[in-house]
Amino acid sequence: MERALSLAWSSMVHMTDGFFARLPNILVAIATLTAFVFGARLARKLVLNLCKRTRLDETLCHALGTIMIFFVNLLGALVAATIVFPSFSPGNLVAGLGITSVAVGFAFKDILENFFAGILLLWQKPFRIGDEIRTNGFEGTVEDIDIRSTRMKTSDGELVVVPNGAMLSSPIVVLTGFAERRVKMTVAAPAGKSTDEMRQLILDVLRKSEFVQKEPEPLVYQTSLGSSLDIFFWANSRSSSLQRAIDEVASSIQRVVSSKPTVEQSPESKPEITESKSDGKRVAA
């Protein structure tokens, strides 16, 4: 019993001596870590100020600031550990975590992929909040872009959340990438009307319509044999404005030529939505 107590007392004395021997190093390590913590905050402010000057996206600025804080604090922790334990080496830590880091990398593969994809999207800005886009089989208005995902509101009022990794690896059709989109219609000339007469009537309708852009000016061509005419005009690229333009033009043409035009749909469009065949889209891959 006495021997056990003696061993315990000796261990406590040895630990106490070791603590006091390392106390200066511990105090220096605490001061160093504190300096790195304040340095991380200062570095974050510098990153945010630099982002504002370069007019980067606000979400991207905060993400870069968070990354800066993480790496500066990690560096401070490694320096503090080296001060307290001189035999400690960051290289040995990295080597010891080799297998573990591989396992963690596979476990967080999707998260890291979406994270870096979000940074690239916010940096490159192929589209912005409020743009109408089509990607991964979905079409809607961009409501929000964050580091992990992009949120879209469809024309049916549904919320679609698309991971940024999928956004970056798939083609993105920006429907409102330009101010106008081109619409193509086909109308058959009714009996008793020549194609030249039809062309003039349709051009009069297009020039009087408030929804049809004056520049580029509308065109009417006979591109196939028979009495059919192809109509081309430009309208506002917003889906709501485009639908109003198509409806107004089609109704007006039907009244003057007694033949309802056919609007050609793009293959990606929903069947229930009358879509235009547009040359005014921006595609980002």
Distance of CA 249 to the CA centre of its chain: 35
> Any residues with CB less than 8 A from the CB of 200 and at least 6 apart, and which?
none
Q: pLDDT tens across 65-76, in order?
A: 878 888 888 888
> Which of 96, 97, 98, 78 shows the shortest CA–CA distance to 88?
78
**152: pLDDT strictly greater than 90:** yes
Task: State which amino acid sits at residue 37.
Answer: V
Q: Are 140 and 155 in contact (CB under 8 A)?
A: yes
Asked if 47 contacts 61 with a C-beta cutoff of 8 angstroms, the reply is yes
- Asked whether the predicted pLDDT for residue 275 surpasses 90, the reply is no
Of the pLDDT bands very low, low, confident and very high (cuts 50, 70, 90), residue 271 is very low
Residue spans in the chain of domains classed CATH 3.30.70.100 = 180-284
From residue 164, alpha-carbon distances to 122, 127, 168 in Å are 10, 13, 6
**CATH code for the structural domain at 113-164:** 2.30.30.60
Q: Which CATH architecture has domain 180-284?
A: 2-Layer Sandwich (3.30)
Parts of the chain belonging to CATH 2.30.30.60: 113-164
Q: How far apart are CA 13 and CA 7, in angstroms?
A: 10
Quick check: 95 pLDDT over 90? no
Half-sphere exposure of 265 (CA within 13 A, CB side): 10
Strands of 98-199 (E only): list them.
132-135, 138-145, 149-153, 159-163, 172-174, 180-188
First to last CA, the chain: 77
- What is the pLDDT, as a whole number, of residue 188? 81
Q: Which region among 7-11, 48-52, 220-224 has the lowest average model confidence (pLDDT)?
A: 7-11
Q: Two tokens at 46?
A: 């510098």
Greater model confidence, 175 or 82: 175
- Residue 277's pLDDT is 47
pLDDT of 267 reads 43
The answer on pLDDT for 159 being more than 90 is: yes
**Claim: this prediction has a pTM higher than 0.85:** no
Three-class DSSP category at 209: coil
* CB neighbours of residue 174 within 10 Å: 20
- CA-nearest of 19, 16, 22 to 83 is 22
For residues 108-145, one letter each, b for 16 or more C-beta atoms within 10 angstroms of the residue's C-beta and e for the rest, the string is eeeeebbbebbbebbeeebbeeebbbbbeeebbbbeeb
69 to 40, 45, 76: CA distances (angstroms)? 5, 10, 11
pLDDT at 269: 43
The Cα–Cα gap between 88 and 99 comes to 19
pLDDT, averaged across the chain: 78
Position 274 scores a pLDDT of 36
Q: How confident is the model at residue 103 (pLDDT cuts 50, 70, 90)?
A: low
